[in-house]
Structure 1
């Protein structure tokens, strides 16, 4: 954000969440963005700002919201969001997602993921509440580094200032289809206890246990030696 790395300034429900992972919006109620130095709100972080992801949790209104999408390049996505109060005291909510797609205009690239996020809240309408939630997301994809990139001024093709200058087909994939991959797995358990005093003052405790894993092999078409323009070949790192 604002030219600064904000990975260490990403929050989930007010708690710093720096695990290397793919992120999804199917279980997110809203996104709060603070631009500029945010140390007064988040403590030590970046100079660019911070992002707080607010999770979907049980509410007093009963509803079911579902969506489905189809598009070109084999794009398919389905989500469901169910909120069910169980009387005045307890409420439950379930958000789930399934996603499968290729990438329009790009050869070979694909992405698959699915996730589920159940939660329960005790004290649905009272000033005191306890919310327990679980979040699971799995992703599997063939990563895309794009067209050959990165050259230095010394080996830049003549009359070129921003691109490689080589005529490369947009759809061409420069990785190794049978080897490259990226898989992530995220599991978060969260318990939040909260009491609202009624005068604008709220006391809250949030406890989370989370595990995130990420594995990948990612071929990068590095053209720092100007190979594309000079010989038509691509250096793959």
Structure 2
């Protein structure tokens, strides 16, 4: 999932972007309303993390534009304002969630995972396939009962496939899960990650549908 982080505290934004990147998310940063508005049309954002107080105005002022351009994106307000009236104002303005600073990054991560589950229609964070278990909440994969170690990029690809195992995922949507806007990905980079995943969880687990994309094979049992 591609995340837009609108936060003017640069050390906080940098640390949070690094944390989310290590969890397999792609996080782009904007330090003002103006910068956020410029980034909105450049990608399909799955979530927006929105600071309330920004150098050029209140983050809530961005909500009407977010709802118009990104109706499916989840918006989580991040703020030091902790009064009930502030929470009500943020939610009534169109935010989906509200997190008070200082917050635990793991709590934010859990809320983002919940967003992903709602978008995919998954009732649980655990996907059980023949011989393969994918825990989207714990970022854990087991093959025949043995833990499988994945890199952050490999996990980013597998997470997209596992969230909607019934869907064919176009190459472009998988690339969106891997790279930021300024990344210079080579044409075969995605195929390298797909190949690595097949080596680790079984070659038949990921189907290639030529000209369409990739799909998790929920019936596969072997390597």
TM-score range relative to shorter protein? under 0.3
* Greater helix content: 2
Which one has the largest radius of gyration? 1
Give the structure-2-normalised TM-score: 0.24
* Greater strand content: 1
Give the structure-1-normalised TM-score: 0.23
